[in-house]
């Protein structure tokens, strides 16, 4: 009987540890009950994963939600799902291919023409670990989709957001910014000399935070804020380009990864929480402020990336 009691106690202890670990991994939820009826939100990649869950939440809170995605057929299916789940018919999709600066400009033209105000911009879309590919703009795919496309999108929408203020910009980055070299390789920004798909992803996520840091400087004395975040390890299809990564992580996903809905909580917190009013240039994870990597706090690198990005998209500082 004693041995049996020991075994039962051990099993209970293991279950308790596993449950506690799983609860910790799931992370906290956004605590704000704020309704945002009358607000307009743009979410890139709002047709899938954490972007879609963010769209459902903000639509449930009463916002008009516009999702930008490359595939309109999939986007329209997502719109119908979001409308059904949120009970809000004011959910729309517009074509947006972040690997094309022309597509970004066309998307922005539509927003500026049709929307009298824009209150929240969520730069959520991304690709990860894809094979080496140059875009039509002559840029490495992950660098353009994850950084440059969002960079141009944000700057072209700034005037509207300033007019609509107080407004919020949220850049979805990743813990991956801490990995690899931890710096931007400005000498080979397109990774033409030595391409590693995950190093390229890491650099693009680091770029998200450096962009946030520099943009917050440009937005001082305005009513627009910008913040970056890590959503957590989330079980989505962003790893679809990497068979090896998907194979390795698949058995671990249920336990160690958040669901898309759980992964959306920090984005939602940044978008609606009263605690974030007037807060800018910060990095968050699990709905709390965190210090990003040392490389992500490099003001000189942030300014250099800004200058290079401005040149690549064909803008000058006086235009924003």
Question: pLDDT tens digits, residue range 184-218?
Answer: 999 999 999 989 999 999 999 999 999 999 999 99
- Helix (H, G, I), strand (E, B), or coil: what is residue 71? coil
How far is it, in rounded angstroms, from Cα 320 to Cα 247? 44
Mean pLDDT over 55-60 rounds to 99
DSSP string, 100-151: -HHHHHHHHHHHHHH-S---EEEE-----SPPP-B-TTSSBHHHIIIIIHHH
How far is it, in rounded angstroms, from Cα 188 to Cα 194? 9
Crossing angle (nearest 10°) for helices 265-272 and 49-60: 40
Mean pLDDT over 90-105 rounds to 99
Which residues, other chains included, contact 158 with Cβ-Cβ below 8 Å and sequence gap of 6+?
224, 320
- Which position among 19, 132, 195, 201 bears the catalytic label? 201
The verdict on whether 201 is a catalytic residue reads: yes
Mean pLDDT over 290-310 rounds to 98
- Give per-residue pLDDT as tens, 121-147: 999 999 999 999 999 999 999 999 999
Total H helices, total E strands in the chain: 11, 8
Mean pLDDT over 249-262 rounds to 70
* Predicted pLDDT at 23: 45
At residue 233 the predicted structure's pLDDT band, cuts being 50, 70 and 90, is confident
């Amino acid at each position: 009987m004693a041995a049996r009691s020991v075994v039962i106690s051990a099993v209970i202890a293991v279950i308790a540890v596993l449950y506690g670990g799983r609860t910790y991994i799931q992370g906290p939820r956004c605590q704000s009950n704020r309704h945002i009826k009358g607000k307009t939100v743009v979410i890139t990649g709002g047709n899938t994963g954490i972007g879609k869950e963010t769209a459902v939440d903000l639509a449930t809170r009463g916002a008009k939600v516009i999702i930008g995605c490359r595939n309109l057929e999939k986007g329209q299916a997502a719109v119908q799902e979001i409308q059904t789940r949120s009970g809000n018919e004011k959910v729309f999709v517009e074509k947006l291919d972040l690997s094309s600066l022309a597509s970004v400009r066309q998307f922005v033209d539509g927003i500026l023409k049709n929307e009298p105000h824009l209150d929240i911009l969520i730069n959520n879309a991304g690709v990860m670990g894809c094979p080496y590919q140059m875009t039509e703009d002559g840029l490495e795919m992950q660098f353009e989709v994850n950084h440059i496309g969002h960079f141009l999108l944000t700057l072209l929408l700034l005037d509207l957001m300033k007019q609509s203020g107080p407004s919020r910009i949220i850049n979805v980055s990743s813990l991956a910014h801490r990995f690899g070299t931890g710096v931007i390789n400005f000498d080979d920004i397109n990774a033409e000399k030595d391409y590693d798909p995950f190093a390229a992803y890491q650099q693009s996520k680091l770029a998200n935070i450096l962009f946030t840091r520099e943009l917050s400087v440009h937005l001082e004395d305005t009513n627009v804020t910008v913040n970056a975040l890590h959503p957590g390890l989330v079980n989505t299809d962003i790893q679809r380009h990497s068979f090896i990564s998907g194979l390795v992580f698949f058995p671990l996903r249920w336990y160690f990864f958040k669901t898309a809905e759980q992964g959306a909580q920090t984005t939602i917190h940044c978008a609606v929480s009263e605690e974030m009013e007037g807060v800018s240039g910060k990095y968050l994870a699990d709905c709390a402020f965190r210090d990003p990597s040392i490389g992500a706090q490099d003001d000189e690198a942030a300014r250099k990336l800004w200058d290079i990005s401005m040149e690549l998209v064909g803008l000058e500082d006086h235009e924003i």
